Amino acid sequence: MHFVLVHGAYHGAWCWDQLRAELERGGHASTAVDLPCDDPDAGAERYVDEVIHAIPKHANAVVLVGHSMAGLTIPVAASRTRTAMTIYLCAYTPVPGLSFDAQHAEVATGFESSKPAFENPDGSASWPEEGAIETFYHDCAPDVARSAARRLRPQFWKVTQEVTPLRQWPAVPTAYILCAEDRAVSRAYSIQAARRQLGTEPVELPGGHSPFLSRPRVLAQALVRAASR
């Protein structure tokens, strides 16, 4: 299997490094995609172009993994390129005909950071270091959490504001993995998205929103199990 790993808001391909090492130890290849989240004009179409461009031409059994906001991107990519499976990790899911914002989805967990994300003058959003650690990395090793928080980029929101380019769900197997202590995407939303949008029962892992940093080996095993079904 070849896992194509697509990061969520604010992040970059770097966030998958520990997970990629675990997948490699298990004999699985992977590619990590860098999305242009700091480009105000980049929406789902541009994100999908980046995903498709990153997939090696001769990769076999491609499994698209989308974390968090990347759940809005991977089904569109799967409808445009040969894909064995899509796996949604603590992820949003699109509804054809709507923007994500127009879904009015209840993704909030009730957690309130002491230093929440703020809007920049250009319309993007950024996270203070401590707030990012509290929200995304509370169960990571302190040095891992701080390093990750310092690498976050500004995020523009065209991808959530525009009507999704997804017209119908691709005819590929799907899986959804949620994390029980996620502070960014609620467990209730994840269960509902898995059942209603994907028609599958979610797999639940322990921990917070970023298992690729807090539990990379556990996540690697879960991804391989899901893709091997």
- How far lies 17's CA from each of 23, 48, 146, 212, in Å? 10, 21, 16, 8
Predicted local confidence at residue 54, as pLDDT: 97
**Is the Cβ–Cβ distance between 50 and 77 less than 8 Å?**
no
Q: In the chain, what are the domain boundaries? A: 2-228
Predicted local confidence at residue 127, as pLDDT: 98
Predicted local confidence at residue 201, as pLDDT: 98
pLDDT tens figures, 13-54: 999 999 999 999 999 999 999 999 999 999 999 999 999 999
Residue type, 147: S
pLDDT tens figures, 198-219: 999 999 999 999 999 999 999 9
Q: Could you give phi then psi for residue 204, rounded to 5 degrees?
A: -110, 125
If one counts every other C-beta atom within 10 angstroms of the C-beta of residue 26, the result is: 12
Burial 39-58 (b: 16+ CB within 10 A, else e): eeebbbebbbebbeebbeee
Average pLDDT, the chain: 97
pLDDT band of residue 229 (cuts 50, 70, 90) is confident
Tell me how far apart the alpha carbons of residues 163 and 183 are, in angstroms, rounded to a whole number.
Answer: 26
Tell me how far apart the alpha carbons of residues 48 and 4 are, in angstroms, rounded to a whole number.
Answer: 12
pLDDT tens figures, 87-99: 999 999 999 999 9
pLDDT band of residue 60 (cuts 50, 70, 90) is confident
The CATH label, of 3.30.390.50, 3.30.470.20, 2.60.40.1930, 3.40.50.1820, for the domain at 2-228 is 3.40.50.1820
pLDDT tens figures, 112-157: 999 999 999 999 999 999 999 999 999 999 999 999 999 999 999 9
pLDDT band of residue 163 (cuts 50, 70, 90) is very high
Predicted local confidence at residue 40, as pLDDT: 98
Average pLDDT over residues 144-172: 98
Residues ≥6 apart with Cβ < 8 Å to 26: 220, 221, 224
Three-state DSSP class for residue 164: coil
Average pLDDT over residues 75-95: 97
Tell me how far apart the alpha carbons of residues 58 and 84 are, in angstroms, rounded to a whole number.
Answer: 14
